[in-house]
Amino acid sequence: MRFAFLFAIFVITVQSGIAWRSFMRGRKNNGNLGEPNLTKAYVPIKEQWFTQNLDHSNPVEGRTWKQRYFVNSDFYKKDGPVFLMIGGEGPASSKWMIEGQMIEYAKQFGAMAFLLEHRYYGTSRPTLDLSVKNLVYLSSEQALADIAYFIEGMHLAYQIPHSAKWIVFGGSYSGSLAAWMRAKYPHLVHGAVSASGPLLAQIDFQQYYVIVENSLKTHSQACVDSIVAATKQVHIMLRHPIGQQGLAKLFNFCDPIDSGRTSQKDIANLYETLAGNFAEVVQYNRDNRNESSITIDTLCNIIIDEKKGIPVHRLAEVSNLLLRNNKEKCLDYKYNKMIEELRNISWNEQKLPGGRQWIYQTCTEFGFFQTSTARPYLFSETFPVEFFIQQCSDIFGPRFSHTLESGVERTNTIFGALDLSNVISNVVFVHGSIDPWHALGITKSSNPNAPAIYINGTAHCANVYPPSKDDLPELTKARKQIGQLINLWLQTTVYS
């Protein structure tokens, strides 16, 4: 249940239970990055609204809707640049207009700063509900067109000279949008900072758990070995009624395992959830948020501690720790319960805001399904790519299991996938070695006008958050490099 993505942010906004949290984690790994930690008390930034077209691809379609945005002009100097953070698969938080690395750059360069919420997320609601017929207007292409029209509109609304240079920022999915925005609208966007952006759409994202394993090994081989041992013990216990009862008690299941009512999909969902606990912590490891105080070291120290019992007992302690941290009363692994919730088309009744929308995008544009088949001994072989494709069909209808391949091919054809760095300028691609999403991004570039910065030891969108005294030297260096690149772009007049 999930394809860990992104919310990406900087152009970002942010988001990610156990079954529900990991579900979104998997599909984005959750589309959310979380909010920055504010170091001071601030007056909240007031939300603004911009009128958008519902369908940018059809000039005959006359319907419009209101898109939410925020603006901070405190640091703007006459004839200065404009920085735009692109929202991703979650509600836009005005905190990004107060603190965060983009705001640090805005202070440095005298820029006006905007944050634009992504259509269909947060309170930017183009349609009456989230039915399949209405979700047809949810796509990365429509989102890019929203940004283009927004930029044009802001010139008039805030009397920004048309000569002003716009730099867009994004992380995770919105990091992808930032790079694509520079490629598709170079006459509007002068430069782009793409943090942790996956640019290769891929149905079976096997590499994800390979990198999760490698990242866990940065703690110790014993950590990985203990997870393998715990997974084997879960296998054995699931085969017998007494073992099933023991698992239900150990892991605090919301529903007992019943051989007559527990399906293979339920078991797959259970394993995917347990694997997702480690994946989520790896993905957001030490990203400068209070809620991210649980790290790789935290989980590995538990899983290797033999004083805490046999491996399955330690695995249960890890699971229960994350349950408590996410204020979950029990571990809900039931597949049909998840599917029914994600079939809900009401804006106001979503258990996980943005969940249905992000899954729709993965089922139509990206894939990004984080499967276990490359590391079956670590997290089991029970959630292969077919498990996720079936979810597309079960949530949105049978045809969605047949059109995914063409949708992913279309995305890569339109946006250029990993070849983008060869044909673009004024873009920097930033990734961390701990972050599993770097496998689908550009981590090396031979184009000096579109360099890649690969930060050893950091995780998802680390450079987006406010600086911290605990930042690795490589991260501090990367932030400085990005600032130098922005300065260089602002000295040039190249538009392609």
Could you please report the per-residue DSSP string of 468-490? Answer: -TT--HHHHHHHHHHHHHHHHHH
Query: Which pLDDT score, from 0 to 100, does residue 26 have?
Result: 39
CA distances from 76 to 72, 178, 381 (A): 8, 22, 54
Give the residues across from 192 on adjacent strands: 168, 427
In the DSSP assignment, the letter for residue 288 is S
* Alpha-carbon span 115 to 311, nearest angstrom: 45
Place domain 203-407 in its CATH homologous superfamily.
Serine carboxypeptidase S28, SKS domain (1.20.120.980)
Q: Where exactly are the structural domains of the chain?
A: 48-202+414-490, 203-407
User: Measuring CA to CA, which residue among 351, 346, 352, 360 is closest to residue 395?
Assistant: 360
Query: Which pLDDT score, from 0 to 100, does residue 32 have?
Result: 52
* Alpha-carbon span 268 to 253, nearest angstrom: 14
**Paired tokens of 10:** 């900087």
Query: Which pLDDT score, from 0 to 100, does residue 289 have?
Result: 59
DSSP element (H, E) containing 171: strand 166-171
Query: What are the φ and ψ backbone dihedral angles of 275, each rounded to 5 degrees?
Result: -65, -40
Q: Is 443 helix (H, G, I), strand (E, B) or coil?
A: coil
Give the residues across from 115 on adjacent strands: 70, 85
* Alpha-carbon span 383 to 376, nearest angstrom: 9
CATH number of 48-202+414-490: 3.40.50.1820
Cβ neighbours of 495 (radius 10 Å): 12
User: Measuring CA to CA, which residue among 439, 398, 421, 10 is closest to residue 204?
Assistant: 439
Q: Do domains 48-202+414-490 and 203-407 have the same CATH topology?
A: no
Q: Which residues are catalytic?
A: 172, 435, 460
Render each residue's pLDDT in the chain as its tens digit; 496 residues.
444 433 333 333 333 323 334 444 433 344 455 678 788 888 889 999 999 999 999 999 999 999 999 999 999 999 999 999 999 999 999 999 999 999 999 999 999 999 999 999 999 999 999 999 999 999 999 999 999 999 999 999 999 999 999 999 999 999 999 999 999 999 999 999 999 999 999 999 999 999 999 999 999 999 999 999 999 999 999 999 999 999 999 999 999 998 778 899 999 999 999 999 999 999 988 876 544 589 999 999 999 999 999 999 999 999 999 999 888 999 999 999 999 999 999 999 988 889 999 999 999 999 999 999 999 999 999 999 999 999 999 999 999 989 999 999 999 999 999 999 999 999 999 999 999 999 999 999 999 999 999 999 999 999 999 998 889 999 999 999 999 999 999 998 865 5
Task: Report whether 109 contacts 487 (CB < 8 A).
Answer: yes
